[in-house]
Amino acid sequence: MRRIRRAASGYGMGLTILEMLVVLLIITLLAALLTPIIINARIYAQSNVCASNLRQLHASLAMYLSDFYGSFTDSQSWPKSAELLSPYVRDNRVFICPIDKASGIWGNYPDGIRTSYYFPSKQMVRDLLSVDANPGAFACMLHGKCRFGQLQSNEPIKPLCYGRVQRVCIDGSIQRSRIPLDCLYSTSGERLGYGNMYWRLLSDKPCPPEYRYGMEPCRPNDYPF
């Protein structure tokens, strides 16, 4: 068999083509085995950074409520938007999840500040507390399968996600849950649109009719991924 030779310290040393192919195959197999581990480690690290952001936002909310003589269980004392918590954080980058490639592009709803995290309104907090003793205060839904898109051409870009949601609850604990992607269907069963039901981001309790907006979990063939 033909050998590829080279000089090394005055001695001839060579590898057959077959030996080179075996080495390349081993390197390829090692890369294939290590790549998922590296990706999972990166996802785990990003999830931890997001959890840290959520805890800082929870602390900022606690300081805001303390300044205005409010509490987590008093929905009327909650700020109108997460934007009012900005003076209570050291760096506004805490409002952006490291997984958010759009840098908080969906944060204009319901707040003026750009953020990756959903923050409920006073009305929603009141409704949450009526059925859930420990609902979420902030939630990030960018840890499952997501893509950014628009329901209508004149609407802002928002993430469409299903899978994992990460939230910080009013007691300061971090919860991880799974959410479906919701669809709006016509009476004939045609899919008219899709999105995320924000109630699901903050609570695992059943979603009341007023927060369903006519939507229901998407059928398996209707997931836009």
Percent share of the chain, pLDDT over 70: 77
CB 117 within 8 A of CB 140: yes
pLDDT tens, residue by residue, 8-37: 444 445 678 877 777 777 777 776 666 666
Residue 43 banded pLDDT, cuts 50, 70, 90:
low
Q: Where are the domains of the chain?
A: 53-222
Q: Give the whole-angstrom CA distance, residue 131 versus residue 121.
A: 16
Cα angle, residue 163 at apex, residues 184 and 179 outer, rounded to 5°: 55
pLDDT tens, residue by residue, 74-83: 988 999 888 8
pLDDT tens, residue by residue, 154-189: 666 677 888 889 999 999 999 999 988 899 899 998
Residues paired with 136 in a beta bridge: 169
In 3D, which of 189, 174, 186 has the Cα closest to residue 214? Answer: 186
